[in-house]
């Protein structure tokens, strides 16, 4: 990605420069416990958190996961023992505190043009009529962007990429904070990540690729998506993958190189599908899949095993009839 490679180094929710944790505690009106003189480098969600990041937690079920994660700073709704080298920011509503930090460092900026002048478009790239390109988008060389495509802010498109009509790159994550003790049960979590599409990728018509919540959704080099494919937030797709029509992949799942997902395959969240795995049409993936094998069914299992099961299921009426006739 000749003109965009430098933009891959940091997510947009890395702060422009390290921020003193004391300032953040003051900004969200939090009690600060632990490393009070430290500096935070960014804000992240638990599946992609890194050293120096802030993360939030508001349910005891996930306290240990956050406290033992790579995060250096935890926004939490209860004062607990602080692990060495970390800091706790104790507030009544961690989710609201998270939103306040996001709105400060990554505020919504309305578009004022169909193709924002801050965006970079490489040599030989064709942009069709009625394409929308948001601010700070980067598109490489020799791409073809067909009519009615939307590429939202901060997304990165590599070289030789084709995007068919009506696709949306960088839509918000389907990610909500849920509590039943308030009038609006589901509160939107701001999407601060990007979509990064590597070189030689083809995106079919009517596809939607959600931006990461606080990190990036990524499509690897040479991968091909058919029409009406949905890629959820923070999904990482490897190189040379092939997804047929109506495939849907839920958030934070990792699809390794060379994976083939045939039509209407559904993949649950936070899973890993191993290198060169093949999942046959209309299968449902609810657990990690080993690479180099072919899978089928719901829940997806090795195809030959699943076919044998189906063959036996078809014989149940015959077997039942034989049992009854002997009675």
- Tens-place pLDDT, residues 244-266: 999 999 999 999 999 999 999 99
Task: Give the domain ranges of the chain.
Answer: 13-105, 120-306
pLDDT of residue 210: 98
Residue 73 tokens, joined: 């700073």
CB-side neighbour CA atoms (13 Å) of 98: 29
pLDDT of residue 118: 95
**Fold of domain 13-105:** 3.40.1390
Query: 299-315: per-residue pLDDT in tens?
Result: 888 988 888 888 888 88
**87: β partners:** 34, 73
| Strand, helix or coil for residue 320 | helix
Query: 216-248: per-residue pLDDT in tens?
Result: 999 999 999 999 999 999 999 999 999 999 999
pLDDT of residue 180: 84
Active-site residue flag, 104: no
Q: Which residue would you say has higher pLDDT here, 68 or 9?
A: 68
Residues 6 or more apart in contact with residue 105 via CB below 8 angstroms: 13, 15, 16, 43
Task: Match 């959820």 to its residue by tokens.
Answer: 232
pLDDT band at 12 (very low <50, low <70, confident <90, very high): low
pTM of the model: 0.89
Domain 120-306, CATH:
2.160.10.10
Checking if the pLDDT of 202 tops 70, the result is: yes
Checking if the pLDDT of 49 tops 80, the result is: yes
Residue 64 tokens, joined: 């240990």
Checking if the pLDDT of 11 tops 70, the result is: no
- Alpha-carbon distance of 250 to 111, in angstroms, equals 28
pLDDT band at 182 (very low <50, low <70, confident <90, very high): confident
62 Rama sector, left if φ>0, alpha if ψ -120 to 50, beta otherwise: alpha
pLDDT band at 6 (very low <50, low <70, confident <90, very high): very low
């Amino acid at each position: 990605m000749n003109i965009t490679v430098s933009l891959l180094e940091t997510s947009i929710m890395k702060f422009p420069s390290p921020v003193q944790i004391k300032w953040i505690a003051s900004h969200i009106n939090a009690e600060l416990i632990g490393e009070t003189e430290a500096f935070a480098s960014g804000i992240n969600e638990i599946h992609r958190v890194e050293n120096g990041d802030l993360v939030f937690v508001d349910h005891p079920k996930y306290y240990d996961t956050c406290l033992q994660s790579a995060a250096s700073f935890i926004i939490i709704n209860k004062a607990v023992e602080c692990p060495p080298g970390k800091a706790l920011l104790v507030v009544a509503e961690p989710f609201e505190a998270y939103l306040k930090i996001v709105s400060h460092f990554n505020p919504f900026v309305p578009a004022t043009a169909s193709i924002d002048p801050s965006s970079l478009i490489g040599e030989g790239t064709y942009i069709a009529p009625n394409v929308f390109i948001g601010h700070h988008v980067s598109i490489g060389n020799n791409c073809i962007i067909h009519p009615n495509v939307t590429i939202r802010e901060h997304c990165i498109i590599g070289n030789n990429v084709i995007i068919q009509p009506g696709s949306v790159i960088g839509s918000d994550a389907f990610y909500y904070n849920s509590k039943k003790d308030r009038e609006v049960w589901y509160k939107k979590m701001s999407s601060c990540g990007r979509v990064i599409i590597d070189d030689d990728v083809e995106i079919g018509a009517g596809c939607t690729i959600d931006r990461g919540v606080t990190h990036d959704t990524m499509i690897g080099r040479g991968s091909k998506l058919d029409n009406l494919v949905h890629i959820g937030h923070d999904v990482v797709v490897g190189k040379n993958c092939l997804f047929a029509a109506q495939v849907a992949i839920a958030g934070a799942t990792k699809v390794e190189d060379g994976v083939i997902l045939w039509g209407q395959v559904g993949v649950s969240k936070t899973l890993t599908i191993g290198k060169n795995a093949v999942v046959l049409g209309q299968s449902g993936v609810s657990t990690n899949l080993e690479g180099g094998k072919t899978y089928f069914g719901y829940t997806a299992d090795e195809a030959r095993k699943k076919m044998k099961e189906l063959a036996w299921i078809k014989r149940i009426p015959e077997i039942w009839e034989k049992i009854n006739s002997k009675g």
